[in-house]
Amino acid sequence: MTADELFDLSDSPYRHELIKGELLTMPLPGAKHGVVTMNLSTPLDVYVRANKLGVVLAAETGFLLERNPDTVLGPDIAFIRRERFTSVPEKHFDLAPDLVVEVSSPSQTRPKTERKAARWLEYGVLEVWLVDSNRRTVDVRRATGNNQQLREGEVLTGGDIVPGFKIPLSEIFG
């Protein structure tokens, strides 16, 4: 399957991604996932807009990361720095975001989540935040390899990617 064919799929009760031309179908993630995603994406978006740092994208925006065969991934939240953001394409972004956030869902196992983070980093993402609402942790995976795990009571920061952004984990998990 190609990225264009993926874009033209009819609506269904599933989410879709494309890995080297192969369609990956996933069930919708559920209410807890949606609440946690909004608890992080809203303050991130407000901060990024107020400081004119770039654009925050949510709701499974597609990123075309490889062609022939095509790979299109859709993170729960993505951030693209202002200097890399030129316009909104009609279909998929033809670049890797600077920051990706993946929020755990009931259908994702820990190994699947880790593989997805590794895939994002391989395609040029600078940082991946793995938000685990069951464990109430955020694992930060960086292209530099300087990874860390944050637990309840700690604060997630944007580091060099989203300078000045801070949010306590308690606000993410509500």
Q: Is 125 within 8 Å of 77 (Cβ atoms)?
A: no
pLDDT at 126 over 90: yes
Residue 174 has pLDDT above 70, yes or no: yes
Given this model, what pLDDT does residue 14 score? 75
Q: Would you kindly state where each structural domain of the chain is located, as residue ranges?
A: 29-63+70-173
Q: What is the pLDDT of residue 12?
A: 66
- H helices of the chain, in order, are 3-7, 31-50, 110-122, 169-173
CATH architecture of residue range(s) 29-63+70-173: Alpha-Beta Complex (3.90)
When mean pLDDT is compared over 16-30, 97-111, 138-152, the highest value belongs to 138-152
Q: Which pLDDT belongs to residue 172?
A: 97
Question: Can you give the pLDDT at residue 54?
Answer: 97
Average pLDDT estimate for 119-128: 97
Q: What percent of the chain has pLDDT above 70?
A: 98
The SS3 call for residue 129 is strand
